Amino acid sequence: MATPVPKTCKVILADTIAKKLLGEVRDMLVQSQSENANAKKPTLAAFLANDDPAAAQYAEWSKKTCEEK
């Protein structure tokens, strides 16, 4: 059984934050593309600082999200 959440606690899901942020990025890209017909697609560049498998997985998720959007 789940522990009840105190009424003084506010639950914020990462998905809620991500959707808002991705919406802002999408709107900015649409605006920049409409203002400049010759605008190129943005490029994402990333560097892994170590061999941590979790960092590599995060980079893959970021790449996937960028490609989808």
- Considering the domain boundaries, does residue 26 fall inside one? yes
More reliable by pLDDT, 51 or 9: 51
Note the pLDDT of residue 24: 92
Boundaries of domain holding 56:
14-68
Q: Is 57 a member of any domain?
A: yes
Number of structural domains found in the chain: 1
**Is 29 part of a structural domain of the chain?**
yes
Q: Is residue 50 over pLDDT 80?
A: yes
**Within-domain flag for 1:** no
Residue 25: pLDDT over 80: yes
Whether residue 20 lies inside any domain: the answer is yes
DSSP letter (8 states) at residue 24 = H
- The answer to whether position 24 is within a domain reads yes
What pTM value is reported for the model?
Answer: 0.55
At 16, list the tokens: 């809620």
Candidate ranges 12-16, 41-45, 65-69; pick with highest mean pLDDT? 12-16
| Contact predicate 61/18, CB 8 Å | no
- Burial class for 11, CB neighbours closer than 10 Å (0-12, 13-18, 19+): exposed
